Structure 1
Amino acid sequence: GKPALVSLVSPFLSIHFASRELATHAWEGVIRKVAHVLGPLLTPPPLASSEEERHRRFEGVQATKRALIAMCRDEAARHVVQGRYELAIPAAAYALRFGTSIYGEGRVELVPALLMLAEANLGLLHYGEAESYLTKANWVLLKTANCSNALRSQLRRNFGKLYASQGRYEEALRQLADDVYYSSLMVGPEHIDTSGGYFQLGNVFFAMNRVENALAMYDKVVDIWYKCLASVLAAKADGPAPMLSEAKGSEGIEMLSQILKRREECVGETNLATGESSYILGLLHQYFGEVQQAQARMHAALGIYENRLGAEHHSTMDVAKSLEQLQGAAEPVA
């Protein structure tokens, strides 16, 4: 590799990089959160006095590595969802590095890190690197019996995004159809995890100028998220409820925001479908306590519903009630 010109120094460790940019990406991407765990792993251990102590120390190191892998994967996923792809790469690379040290080369346990590296490189438009990681992941899954449908789904989704970005639309559609199939086997066709596949299918159809097909896929995504949010918000009001992760919520906001823009372009800013998108996006902001964004989206939706359906229509009244509850919750208690 390139010569190390920059040193990243913390109380827990010192690491050398070829450039300040790489050092900054690594620090911001993952090291600042895991330095306290990473430092001891990179420091040569003292000599053990007995076989029992060596075994105990080995087991402790392996457990630490597994915890570090989970932390790195979480950070990489968070950066990818936020579009900070250059920060996701070092986090995923550490997950791959320590996964390889535990499990060895070519093991299925490495596939999540390979997929994360592929997705980050796709985001940076580094198609060659992305395809290389996807090919490695695909080879591992091909030779692994009974691997999870979740991994198969993620692999197909990333291949679909790669082919779409290269203008290979028919191949992208086949990969994304497989993605939806495997995700449906895993969690069902109406699950928010599966909605990402429908969304990518919609994007490919839109790129092919098959607008009706694209809008049909977007309708499916919106419907899935509405049912999910109606369920979790109702459960949240009644007490402890199943949680939407920050990463999944960010993914939902990104998808629904893009669908809102597409609906505005294709059917108009005052169309009922546009109002529906705005309302559901408002519900998702509400779930995560983002009150101002939620109010703005619901106000826009209410105006469209009142104009299209009238103030007394049950759908309009549902939006008005949601907005009223949101405003009531936002008002300070005297």
Structure 2
Amino acid sequence: MAAPSLAMAPHDEASVELAFVEPAAPARLLSSQFPSKVGGRPAWLSLQLPDPERLLCGGCTRPMVFLLQVYAPRDRAFHRALLIFCCAVPACPRRRFAAFRSQLGRINDFYEPEPEPEALPGTRPGPRLCRVCGASAPKSCSRCRWAHYCGKEHQSLDWKAGHREACGRPGEAAGSLSSPNILFPEFELVMELEDSEDQKLENLKCVESKSAAESDCVTEAIDEQELEAMAKHESEEDRIFAKFKRRIALAPDQVLRYCRGGCPLWVSGENIPSKTDIPNCPCGAKREFEFQVMPQLLNYLKVDCLEESLDWGTLSVYTCEQSCDHGNEYSTEFLWKQDFSAEQY
């Protein structure tokens, strides 16, 4: 039986669901299993895929790579998934991220109304996918005709990585699908509610610690000028980062926090969006915070060297609060990237 999907439990304003990565059999991560997952190829919900041009980085115009997806149904959408793509080109001058939403009714063009048993990969017909990245593949190899690609970029990568020698060989069509290894390692996302009792205890310890510090100040008879200097030394930046560290210390392996309609846990006092920074959905409805991706995920993506590789403090995703219906099409949602401040490195 599949692990509980994110956002399946009832929410109140304070509840937060934490996601963790776990290895999973490929059969659990297919579209028909409605997974929440990291890396590998997308498990597209709607099989009417977005045009490959929508997955190009706005900084370097190269194809973005699938980062993760969250299966998050709502009362207005029986099936609902949110997917994030990112540019993984080290030399990109303006590395971009993109978030997409897909939602379907229980009766739809792609899946049966009742849950399907786990299937073996490749047993269900589907759209043509790029054999490098898993995006929509309008192009095909002109020699063998069965190798499909999202565009010239990935066709060239695959050609250099071994398709040139293997093209047309018997059995190659069902063989390796990841010759140019540009994808992130694949994991399932599993979730659990953040322990509210632990959080209350953490808050209490914070208050007690503050009270003890104030008591020490009185005992040592520190004069008013020294107290003022200490208060200024602890900047708002220090307090925000300290809160971030205290909160994640309760579950240090968390890679995602889900709290629809709540507030992100910021890593820095810099670059926090105002209400005007978050655009309304094209339908006219406001967007609300839904989930954030934590920096701990970077440990599982096999990326390093901060000057050249992928990096973030947190990625916060805001979605249409009305979850407006776009049929089988993928709608673009809003993602805000916040980095760690320079003082935190």
TM (normalized to structure 1)? 0.20
TM-score, normalised by the number of residues in structure 2: 0.20
Point out the structure with the larger helix share.
Answer: 1
Q: Which has the higher contact order (CA 8 A, sep 6+)?
A: 2
